Each structure stands twice: as structure tokens, then as C-alpha cells.
Amino acid sequence: MATRSERLAEFEADKEPSATEDVELLCEDHRGTYTLPFPCRRVGREWCNQTTGQIIEAEILGWRLWQR
């Protein structure tokens, strides 16, 4: 199992993606880190599910381009 530091190294945390890019989000809760199984986009100050438009209510640690 990858450590938190190893997971973080795979994601961007220092910059924002463009508003037209689908991304995969790395999130964290009391159990550890996880990725969301759907593409997301940054809309203003919020992260949203690209498919449904629903705002993501999670602690976001980083993002990377969607490749699924």
C-alpha cells in the first residue's frame, strides 16, 4: 500500500487546472486517501463532478489529468 507521501507525489497541489480539463481528485478522510471514480472540474472556487455538476464536499489534496 502506498504511503500518503507517495500518493501526494502523484498529484498536483501547487496549481489549479484549466477550467476545461477533466481531472481525477485525490481526497482524504479519517480512513486515509482515496480518488474519486469520476472526472471532476474546477468551477470558480469549487470542485464539481463533471458528469452531474454536483459540488464535491471532501477534503481535496490534489489533482491530476483524468486518464480513464
Given its phi and psi angles, is residue 15 left (phi above 0), alpha (psi -120 to 50 degrees) or beta?
beta
Q: pTM of the entire structure?
A: 0.90
- How many CB atoms are located within 10 Å of the residue 41 CB? 20
Summarised one tens digit per residue, pLDDT across range 30-62 is 999 999 999 999 999 999 999 999 999 999 999
Q: How many domains, the chain?
A: 1
| Residue 9: its H or E element | helix 4-9
| Angstrom distance (rounded) from CA 54 to CA 68 | 20
Residue 21: which domain range? 4-65
